[in-house]
């Protein structure tokens, strides 16, 4: 490429002041990556490029800010479920559950066993459908479109099950403080769920052949976006991204909720810390999640009520919660997802603060990992970190 | 037998003398170890795997430096606006990977000209959390170089919408006028 003749002193002076908006020479320019790019999902990164290399990346979030935390302070406790679940789009059951768990803890309710079993099954189904969605996103970024189309078709099976259980496909508004809103529709639903799990299990080897054990995947991800264990801990990276650096931290094992302390499953851990390790950790987790769902189905739903019995529940809009605060968190496919709820004794929460995992791995970590990467690797790093912009904006 | 019994008695006596209210669980030992290094803080156990510390605002950086040896991850920094008391409560939430314990570190600062030292040097991720707290509540974190418009639009910067005294409905009416006016069925209450 031909270079424009610019005196060297001038160029150095401009770099000192971070001036890249107007190209100084033909190789240095500022690139707005997203929000219209498929990989970024309503999120934007300003890349300062030197040729094909990223010299500096600045994350520019805010396209999805809807002020959920502020709105939650204006609404009654039960109405907030329909609002807060929109914080995590691909697995909307996670915000429902953390909020309900925190409110349960403040009130001191003992959620019935049947409700806990249903909540646990719903969370695992949400994880699996989110994994399927991730396979589509990741496959598309490296040019493998077929596994994505399969994955979305398999996700559809879970969405149908969700629709029969909750009435909604993507947003369920199902888990509420004290239990769940409806009972399981019947034994046929459990049979369908088992069929789906077995079907997906038989299809995993197809994904291996075409995506996880593919030469293209290895070429595109090996050694890209490497972070080590110390860096990941200091930057509060959680979930599969942390486990790919060799730290076996999983909320389901370390701070068990629901039935996870009775279930038998493993935490896949790899040490490399690059994009390939992050992809493979996710591959092993899909297998573990299928195994967990199978165990839950073997256990069977305990009999009993699916909602706490409390006379105060008759007047939901005026339902008051005692003074107190609680923090609850679950393991989502993106990482450690938590909610901190403060109550001042009225019928509206005083403060709700949601901790999305992308808040930590989608801002500073992303900026660090993108430095020095090739332009073509930017979507790969984004997708292997599994960045979810609504977590950051909220 | 005598050899074995003697040290046991001594251990019990020590526990009673030093920290009578902390049980000999992993949470109790953790709180005790931190309070020995930071005697100015108050520590307590909320329940299994949940502990709590109360620290004066001027010593928060010192305390978090001590705590970071045991707690590797800074989960989040929550700001709670206590309007009646005229104070912001900052809750630093930590997670210990090695011990599997979650900790609240609470401190209170006055609402007027709220200032805190940054903890970016201990956990670099604090940069993001502090930017958010600065934008929504107007707290200035000294030493954080990136305070400024982050999630909100530039025109909303320095309005600090998450403060309790921010007039949300008034702001919506001002920005959107009558285009988005909505009332409930009885036409008396304005709803957003």
CA distance A386 to A208: 19
Residue at A101 is within a domain: yes
Which residues of chain A lie closer than 8 angstroms to B50, CB-CB? 327
- Give the tokens for residue B178: 């009558």
A191 & A250 share domain: yes
Q: Are A78 and A177 in contact (CB under 8 A)?
A: yes
A49, A152: one domain: no
pLDDT in tens, A96-119: 999 999 999 999 888 999 999 999
Residue A156's pLDDT is 92
A115 contacts A179 by C-beta, under 8 angstroms: yes
Structure tokens given for A380: 């790969």
ipTM rounded to 2 decimals: 0.83
Whether residue A340 is contained in a domain is answered as: yes
Which residue from B minimizes the CA distance to A335? B75
Q: Which residues of chain A have a pLDDT value below 50?
A: 1, 20-22
Domain interval for residue A29: 8-60
Contact B153 A393 (CB under 8 A): no
Say which residue the tokens 């510390």 belong to. B53
**CB < 8 Å to B97, chain A:** 233, 247, 249, 254
How, if at all, do strands A351-355 and B42-47 pair?
Answer: unpaired
Does residue A186 sit in the same domain as residue A96?
A: yes
Instruction: Identify whether residues A123 and A158 lie together within a single domain.
Output: yes
Give pLDDT, residue A320. 86
Q: Do B102 and A255 lie within an 8 Å CB cutoff?
A: yes
Task: Tell whether the model's pLDDT for residue B40 goes beyond 50.
Answer: yes
- Average pLDDT taken over every residue of chain B: 81
Rounded distance, CA A59 to CA A46, Å? Answer: 6
How far is it, in rounded angstroms, from Cα B176 to Cα B167?
A: 14
Beta strand B101-110 with B50-54 is: parallel
State the pLDDT at residue B18: 47
Instruction: Please name which of A284, A291, A292, A290 lies closest in space to residue A267, comparing C-alpha atoms.
Output: A284
Sequence-distant (6+) residues with CB within 8 A of A388 are A41, A88, A89, A90, A334, A356, A357, A358, A362
- Provide the sign of the torsion angle of the four alpha carbons A116, A117, A121, A127, taken in this order: positive
| CB contact (8 A) between residue A327 and residue B73 | no
**pLDDT tens column, B109-155:** 998 888 889 998 999 999 899 988 988 988 988 888 888 788 888 77
The answer to whether the CB atoms of B152 and A62 lie below 8 A apart is: yes
* A1 falls within a domain: no
The three state secondary structure string of chain B is CHHHHHHHHHHHHHHHHHCCCCCCCHHHHHHHHHHHHCCCCEEEEEECCEEEEECCHHHHHHHHHHHCCCCCEEEEEEEEEECCCCEEEEEEEEEECCCCEEEEEEEEEECCCCEEECCCCCCCCHHHHHHHHHHHHCCEEECCCCCCCCCCCHHHCCCCCCCCCCCHHHHHHHHHCCCCCCECCCCCCECC
State the burial class of residue A391 (Cβ atoms within 10 Å of its Cβ: 0-12, 13-18, 19+). buried
Domain for residue A360, yes or no? yes
Indicate whether A163 and A15 sit together in one domain: no
- Locate the domains of chain B by residue range: 2-146
pLDDT in tens, A149-182: 999 999 999 999 999 999 888 898 899 988 898 8
CATH 3.30.460.80 corresponds to the domain B2-146: yes
Strands B140-142 and B115-117: parallel
B75 — contact with chain A (CB < 8 Å)?
A: yes
The answer to whether residue B172 neighbours chain A at the CB level (below 8 Å) is: no
End-to-end CA distance of chain B: 74
**Residue A75 sits in a domain of what CATH number?**
1.10.645.10
Whether A3 maps to a domain, the answer reads: no
Asked if A116 and A55 sit in the same domain, the reply is no
How far off is chain B from A279, nearest CA to CA, in Å? 23
* Nearest CA distance, A154 vs chain B (angstrom): 34
The confidence score (pLDDT) of residue A119 equals 92
Alpha-carbon gap: B150 to the closest alpha carbon of chain A (Å): 7
Set of chain B residues whose Cβ sits within 8 Å of the Cβ of A247: 97
3 state DSSP class of A245:
coil
- Residue A198 has a pLDDT of 93
Domain co-membership, A79 together with A14: no
Same domain assignment for residues A24 and A115:
no
Interface residue ranges in chain A relative to chain B, Cβ cutoff 8 Å: 61-62, 65, 67, 69-71, 74, 233-236, 238, 247, 249, 254-255, 327, 329, 336, 338, 340, 342, 350-351, 353, 355, 359-360, 363-365, 392-393
pLDDT of residue B16: 41
A351: tokens are 């403060």
- Among A24, A41, A60, residue at a domain's last position: A60
The answer to whether position A2 is within a domain reads no
Asked if A42 and A167 sit in the same domain, the reply is: no
Inform me whether the pLDDT recorded for B178 exceeds 80: no
Q: How confident is the model at residue B9 (pLDDT cuts 50, 70, 90)?
A: very low
pLDDT tens readout for residues A342-354: 998 888 899 999 9
Under DSSP, the state recorded for A211 is I
CA-based radius of gyration for chain B: 23
Q: Single out the residue of A234, A393, A241 nearest to residue B120, CA to CA.
A: A234
Looking at the structure of chain A, the number of domains it has is 2
């Amino acid at each position: 490429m031909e270079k424009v003749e610019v005196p060297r002193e001038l160029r150095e002076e401009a770099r000192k002041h971070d001036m890249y908006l107007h190209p100084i020479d033909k190789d240095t320019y500022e690139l707005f990556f997203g929000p219209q790019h498929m990989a970024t999902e309503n999120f934007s990164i300003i890349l300062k490029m030197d040729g094909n290399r990223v010299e500096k990346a600045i994350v520019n979030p805010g396209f999805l800010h809807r002020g959920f935390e502020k709105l939650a302070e204006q609404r009654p406790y039960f109405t907030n479920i329909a609002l807060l679940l929109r914080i995590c789009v691909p697995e909307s059951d996670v915000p429902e559950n953390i909020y309900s768990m925190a409110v349960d803890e403040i009130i001191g309710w003992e959620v019935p066993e049947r409700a806990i079993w249903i909540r646990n099954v719903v969370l695992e189904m949400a994880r699996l459908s989110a994994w399927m969605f991730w396979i589509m996103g990741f496959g598309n970024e490296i040019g493998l479109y077929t596994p994505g189309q399969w994955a979305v078709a398999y996700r559809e099976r879970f969405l149908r099950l969700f629709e029969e259980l909750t009435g909604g496909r993507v947003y369920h508004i199902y888990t509420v403080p004290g239990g769940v809103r409806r009972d399981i529709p019947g034994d046929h639903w459990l049979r369908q769920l088992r069929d789906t799990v077995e079907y997906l299990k038989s299809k995993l080897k197809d994904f291996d052949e075409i995506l996880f054990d593919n030469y293209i995947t290895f070429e595109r991800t090996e050694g890209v976006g490497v972070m080590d264990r110390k860096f990941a801990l200091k930057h509060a990276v959680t979930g599969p991204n942390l486990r790919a650096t060799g730290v076996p931290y999983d909320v389901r094992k370390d701070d068990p909720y629901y039935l996870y302390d009775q279930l038998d499953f493993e935490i896949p851990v790899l040490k490399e810390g690059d994009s390939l390790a992050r992809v493979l950790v996710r591959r092993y987790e899909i297998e573990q999640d299928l195994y967990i769902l199978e165990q839950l189905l073997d256990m069977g739903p305990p009999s009993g009520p699916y909602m706490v019995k409390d006379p105060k529940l008759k007047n939901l809009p005026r339902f008051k919660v005692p003074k107190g605060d609680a923090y609850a968190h679950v393991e989502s496919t993106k990482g450690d997802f938590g909610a901190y709820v403060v109550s001042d004794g009225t019928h509206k929460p005083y403060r709700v603060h949601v901790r999305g995992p992308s808040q930590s791995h989608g801002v500073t970590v992303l900026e660090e990992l993108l430095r020095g990467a090739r332009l073509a690797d930017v979507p790969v790093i984004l997708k292997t970190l599994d960045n979810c912009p609504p977590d950051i904006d909220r | 037998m005598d050899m074995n019994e003697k040290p046991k008695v001594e251990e019990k006596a020590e526990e009673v003398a030093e920290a009578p209210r902390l049980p000999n669980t992993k949470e109790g030992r953790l709180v005790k170890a931190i309070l020995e290094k930071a005697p100015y803080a108050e520590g307590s156990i909320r329940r299994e795997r949940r502990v709590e510390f109360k620290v004066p605002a001027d010593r928060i950086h010192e305390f978090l430096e001590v705590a970071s040896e045991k707690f590797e991850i800074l989960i989040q920094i929550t700001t709670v606006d206590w309007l009646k008391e005229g104070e912001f409560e900052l809750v630093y939430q930590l997670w210990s990977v090695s011990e599997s314990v979650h900790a609240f570190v609470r401190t209170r600062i006055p609402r007027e000209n709220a200032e805190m030292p940054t903890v970016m040097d201990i956990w670099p991720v604090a940069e993001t959390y502090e930017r958010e707290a600065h934008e929504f509540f107007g707290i200035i974190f000294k030493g954080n170089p990136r305070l400024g418009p982050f999630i909100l639009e530039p025109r909303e910067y320095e309005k600090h919408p998450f403060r309790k005294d921010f007039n949300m409905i008034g702001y919506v009416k001002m920005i959107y006028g009558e285009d988005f006016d909505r009332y409930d069925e009885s036409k008396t209450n304005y709803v957003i």
